[in-house]
Amino acid sequence: MFKLWRWYQNCLSVHPVKTQVISSGLIWGFGDIAAQTVTHASSVKRNPNLASEEEKELHINWRRVATTSLFGMAFVGPVGHFWYEGLDRFLKVKLQYQPKSIRFVATKVALDGIIFGPVDLFVFFTYMGFASGKTFNQVKDDVKRDFLPALVLEGGIWPMVQVANFRFIPVKYQLLYVNSFCLLDSCFLSWLEQQQDAAWKQWFKILSSNEHKNKED
């Protein structure tokens, strides 16, 4: 394990972007396998009498795994690398915040939650929708249904995760740290999608519609 970590560190030093791209793709692919496993187990447990023996067996959708892995490679890896490195440099050079200070960590967490978090969710839902063969209107409806609930629920967790990240983890390892937690996040997003038009999601729709009406008035 130690040799593997040393090898990863060497790759990160020599080829930082390429290493982040490949590692992000692998982690997101593994995360989707975990998500499919959790989703399947949840579905069987919820409908024990309806599922046949064939349906009770777990069949991994490898096309979806590849699609999710590609998202990690094409978006999370390169964008995440330049985002965390660039944001760190901006706070230290432009704003002249002391690294690891309360102001530095708080600002980085806030900007990450306000900018990168929503963009990442929007791109994820949009990309996964089109990759699964859905039409533009279907993808738009799915994004309207899932984006706000995911943003609100994740908004209560990720800031705490990122406080520890930005305070204690060197910037070159911060994306790896985030991707590790994305293993759990993949399970959450998969569960969220499985809920379809659950009653608790309708509350977010109503809230969003009311806010839109208030703005128009």
pLDDT tens per residue across span 6-43: 999 999 999 999 999 999 999 999 988 988 887 788 77
Enclosing H/E stretch for 63: helix 62-71
pLDDT at 126: 95
pLDDT at 217: 54
pLDDT at 186: 72
Give mean pLDDT, residues 187-210. Answer: 60
pLDDT at 2: 86
Contact between residue 146 and residue 125 where contact means Cβ atoms under 8 Å apart: yes
CA distances to 52, 113, 129 from 146, rounded to whole Å, are 30, 17, 12
Q: State which residues form the domain around 147.
A: 2-216
Contact between residue 64 and residue 36 where contact means Cβ atoms under 8 Å apart: yes
What are the tens digits of pLDDT across the range 192-201?
666 555 554 5
Task: Read off φ and ψ for residue 169, nearest 5 degrees.
Answer: -95, 130
Higher pLDDT, 206 or 134: 134
- The two tokens of residue 173 are 């390892």
Q: Residue 89 and residue 103: Cα distance in Å, rounded? A: 15
CA angle 166, 149, 110 (to 5 degrees): 25
Query: Which of these ranges, 23-32, 156-165, 177-186, 202-211, has the smallest mean pLDDT?
Result: 202-211
Higher pLDDT, 206 or 119: 119
- Chain centroid, CA 70 distance in Å: 13
pLDDT at 197: 59
Helix count and strand count (H, E) for the chain: 11, 0
pLDDT at 85: 95
**pTM, whole model, 2 decimals?**
0.83
Q: Which of 205, 162, 171 is nearest to 85 (CA)?
A: 171
Enclosing H/E stretch for 128: helix 117-131
Q: Is the pLDDT of residue 171 over 90?
A: yes
CA dihedral 9, 15, 16, 18 (to 10 degrees): -120
72 Cβ neighbours under 8 A, 6+ residues apart: 24, 25, 26, 27, 28, 29, 179
| Domain count across the chain | 1
What are the tens digits of pLDDT across the range 76-120?
999 999 999 999 999 999 999 999 999 999 999 999 999 999 999
pLDDT at 87: 96
pLDDT at 216: 53
pLDDT tier at 144 (50, 70, 90 boundaries)? confident
Whole-number average pLDDT of the chain = 85
Give mean pLDDT, residues 205-215. Answer: 55
In which residue are the tokens 């978006």 written?
75
**DSSP structure class, residue 134:** -
pLDDT at 183: 78
pLDDT at 146: 85
